[in-house]
Structures are given as C-alpha cells and as structure tokens.
C-alpha cells in the first residue's frame, strides 16, 4: 500500500509536515484538533502538498527531509506539485453535503468611531478566522455548535422574532448573532434554509477585532451560497448591520461587516461610509501589522458605545442651529467646529472634536499611504490614540501603557487602540524586519510594569469571508 508525505498550511501561515497512508483521513483529524498539538492551536488548516512514497520507511525519511527545508523551499515544492493529487484527497475529505466557510476578523488601522458619522475608514480583514462547517437540514431549524464556548442550541427559523430556542428559552448572547442574520434575511425577502453549523474561532472574543462581525458575515456568506442569491459583499454587510442594530441591539456602523466580507490580501480598504464607495490601498512597503491583546474584555451592548453614538447625534442636532446644512459630523469642518465649539456642552464638544479631527486625519493618512510614507501614517495613528483617550474617553490605562511602550520601541511607526475601545487590542505598524525584536521588547517592558504576560498576534491583511468548499 502506498504512503504519502503531506504539508498542511496553518492559519498563521506556518507549515506542518507529516506522513500517512490516508491523507484525507489525516486531514480530517487535523481539522478536528486531533492530528497534532501545533495544528490544534493554529486552526483551521488546509492541505497544501501531497507526495506519494513507496513504503513506510521511505515516507518517514522523506518527511524528515521536507521538515529540514526552508520556508522558501517548501513554497517552491507546493508551487510545482500536481494539484490534481491534492484535490483528490481534499474532495474525499469533504462530503458533498458539507459546506465550509472561512470568515476573518478585522482591524481598523485609522478612522475610529467615525463609521457611524459618515466618515472614511481604513480597515483590513486579518488572517485570524471563524471557521464554519455546515450541513443542510430538511427542517427550518438552525442548529449551532459553538466549540469555543462549548455550547449547542437549536433555534426555530419560523419563530425568530421571539428570540427563543426550540424549548422556548430566551436565546443566549452568542446565538443572537447567527439568528439575527437569519432574521435580517427573512425581513429582506430571502428564506434561509435549516442548517447545522459547527464553528470555532481564533479571534479573541471582546478584543476589538470584530469576532461578532466575523460570525455574522460567515453565516451570511453561508446562506448566500446555499440560497444561490448572489448578493454582493456590500448587500450582505448591510443585512448584517441591520441584524446587529435591530436584533442584537448594538448600534454599530457598517465598517466591521464590510471589512470582514470584502477584505483584500495585503491591502487596506478605504471605505466611505456615506457614499459606500470603496477602494483598496497597499500598506506601506516593508511594514507589518502587529496586534496586542490587552486582555480587557468588553461587551458593546453593555458599555458606553451606544452612548457615544447618541452624543454624536446630539452634537449634530445642536450644531444645526448655526450650520443648518449639515447632516452629520462629516459635514463639519475643523474651522466650523472651532467657531462654535464653545456653545456646546463640554462632553458633547469633546466627542465632536475627536470625530471631526479623526475624519481629517484619515484624509492625511490616505496621502501618506499613497506616498508610501510609513512614518507619516504612524504619526497619525499615535495622534488618533491620544484623541480617543482624551476626547472620546474610550481608552483604558492598560491600552495607554501598551501604546506608550510601543511608541518608543525600535521599529514601531505607530500604535493606537483599535475597535470600540473600553479594552480590547492595540494595533501597531512595525518595520517587517524588526517585528520579532519589537514583540520581544514590548512583552519585556509590559511585564516589567505589570508582572503580566501579553498575547501578541503578528498579522497579515487577508481576503474577506469566503466559501472554501462547495
């Protein structure tokens, strides 16, 4: 019987090499977390290379030889292989009634809290994912298996407005996101079929990396595929936003869902939340994204996120007395605000000042990106964090410490909190050749100040949510 050497590609971009008599069966084991410790902590994995070997002894020798290859040599091996061999085992791994979706998180590089103020934002999808495996059901039921939470639930699709499970119990928070997508689809005239979905994620929950949006768009992409509706990424993003606003109860903007759906590898998205126009723009050359987790968790529905939105709405309402043509804070120039800011209540003036200046910062950032000026872009990131801290009031002492340490670390162009704030993560733009030393220094300095360890995620800008097996 033939033996095979194989290479798996993990979610972090690393390669795992092994040997087996049955690559399809082995792939299944790795996907379910039973193959090896490394693939279990870096899911999902995909089969990148298969090579047939005559016997067990030669398979072990070849496995050792492949493991000794450099990354570049492994990539060349993968590039030059016969793809039909890989497809043979991938196709036998997936049964015809199983659908798999990979849905990324997102990081916002600049333009914080302006997506709901009609601003232009600069997010990117990242290579940390929610992985969904689904099969169709004959009944109108949504069955969820959330592996990270160790919870399962069945939800009747014909009673979504009741927000209860099949036993009549109120839905727990995690179930509101997929159920809300089904509700929004129904409300728009689409009929989501019954499905059973097992999903897990390596996006930290409550970290500001849009773990909830990744779940939403994963289910939206899944039902769009099953239904054959051919809805665009923007159309799906709008449905997901409606779900979060009206079903979950968080008044989010459109940026998170859009970025998770329409991300482009190695690029930022320049997304105009007023016109809904968008373009892609490259990160500065020889730079990398490094995300640092503060380990402070927050639930948007129970923080002051909705309050900040209300304060922005109030600012527009008040400023209309002197600027009657404005529709949102995007229409207010820095000069206009300077002229009238003293007429506003103090807390309202601070919120408006952040938003107006942040919108202006993004305009400068686009010029810096087009000029490939990493230093200028990084300076704007630091200015943004200071504004989020002092004017918008959404930072924390831990986030401030992380930004302070990063800003004086060699190789760091800029750092800021990302996401809604109140905890979560910082995003750092770092010279690619100094990422390793940057992380080492950041961890050491943070430990010196707090006696605590840090979780740090070097990331790449990723493609958006996609079906990876029909």
Residue 299 known to be catalytic? no
Q: Measured on CA atoms in the order 31, 229, 187, 310, is the torsion positive or negative?
A: positive
Which segments of 147-297 are extended strands (E)? Answer: 151-156, 195-201, 267-272, 278-282, 287-293
**Residue pair 50/106 in contact by the 8 Å Cβ criterion:** no
Element (H, E) at 460: none
CA dist 169 and 184 (Å) reads: 21
Backbone angles phi, psi at 107, to 5 degrees: -125, 140
What SS3 state is found at 294?
coil
Q: How far apart are the first and last CA of the chain?
A: 30
DSSP assignment, residue 391?
T
What SS3 state is found at 372?
coil
DSSP H helices, 150-254, are 173-187, 211-227, 233-243
Cis peptide before 245 (omega within 30 of 0): no
Cα distances (Å, whole numbers) of residue 441 to 286, 320, 455, 463: 20, 49, 13, 30
**Residue pair 170/163 in contact by the 8 Å Cβ criterion:** yes
Look at residues 443, 445, 413, 137 and name the one whose alpha carbon lies nearest to residue 293.
443
Q: What is the DSSP string of 4-71?
A: EEEEEEPTTS-EEEEEES-HHHHHHHHHTT-S-HHHHHS---EEEEEEEESSHHHHHHHHHHHHTS-H
Bridging pattern class, strands 287-293 and 455-459: antiparallel
Helix axes 374-390, 397-407, angle to 10 degrees: 160
Question: One of 115, 127, 256, 331 is an active-site residue; which one?
Answer: 256
CA dist 398 and 408 (Å) reads: 16
Query: Known catalytic residues?
Result: 256
């Amino acid at each position: 019987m033939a033996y095979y050497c194989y290479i798996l590609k993990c979610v972090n971009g690393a390669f795992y090499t092994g040997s087996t008599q049955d690559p399809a069966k082995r792939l299944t084991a790795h996907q379910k977390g039973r193959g090896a410790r490394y693939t279990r902590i870096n899911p999902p994995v995909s089969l990148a290379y298969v090579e047939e070997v005559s016997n067990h002894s030669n398979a072990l020798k070849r496995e050792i030889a492949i493991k000794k290859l450099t990354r570049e040599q492994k990539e060349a091996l993968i590039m030059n292989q016969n793809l039909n061999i890989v497809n043979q085992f991938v196709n036998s791994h997936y049964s015809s009634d199983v659908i798999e979706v990979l849905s990324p998180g997102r990081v916002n590089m600049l333009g914080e809290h302006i997506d709901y103020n009609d601003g232009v934002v600069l997010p990117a999808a990242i290579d940390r994912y929610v992985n969904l495996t689904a099969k169709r059901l004959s009944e109108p039921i949504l069955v969820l298996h959330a592996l990270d939470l160790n919870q399962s639930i069945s939800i009747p699709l014909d009673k979504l407005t009741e927000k209860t499970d099949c036993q009549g119990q109120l839905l727990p928070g995690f179930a509101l996101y997929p159920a809300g997508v089904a509700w929004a689809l129904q409300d728009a005239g689409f009929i989501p079929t019954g499905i059973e979905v097992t999903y897990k994620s390596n996006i930290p929950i409550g970290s500001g990396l849009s773990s909830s949006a990744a779940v939403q768009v994963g289910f939206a992409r899944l039902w769009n595929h099953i239904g054959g509706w051919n809805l665009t990424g923007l159309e799906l993003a709008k449905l997901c936003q409606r779900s979060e606003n009206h079903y979950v109860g968080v008044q989010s903007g459109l940026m998170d869902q859009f970025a998770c759906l329409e991300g482009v590898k190695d690029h930022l998205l320049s997304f105009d939340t007023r016109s809904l126009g968008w373009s892609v723009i490259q990160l500065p050359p020889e730079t990398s994204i490094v995300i640092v987790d503060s380990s402070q968790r927050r639930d948007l529905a129970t923080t002051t996120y909705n309050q900040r939105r209300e304060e922005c709405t109030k600012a527009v309402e008040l400023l209309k007395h002197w600027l009657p043509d404005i529709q949102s804070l995007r229409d207010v120039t820095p000069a206009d605000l300077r002229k009238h800011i003293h007429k506003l209540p103090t807390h309202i003036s601070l919120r408006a000042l952040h938003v107006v200046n942040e919108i202006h910062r993004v305009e400068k950032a686009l010029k810096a990106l087009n000029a490939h000026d990493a230093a200028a872009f990084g300076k704007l990131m630091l200015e943004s964090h200071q504004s989020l801290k002092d004017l918008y009031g959404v930072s924390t002492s831990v986030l401030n410490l992380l930004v302070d340490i990063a800003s004086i670390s060699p190789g760091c162009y800029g750092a800021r909190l990302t996401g809604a704030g109140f905890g979560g993560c910082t995003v750092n733009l770092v010279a690619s050749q100094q990422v390793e030393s940057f992380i080492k220094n950041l961890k050491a300095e943070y430990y010196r100040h707090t006696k605590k360890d840090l979780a740090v995620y070097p990331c790449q800008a990723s493609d958006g949510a996609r079906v990876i097996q029909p």
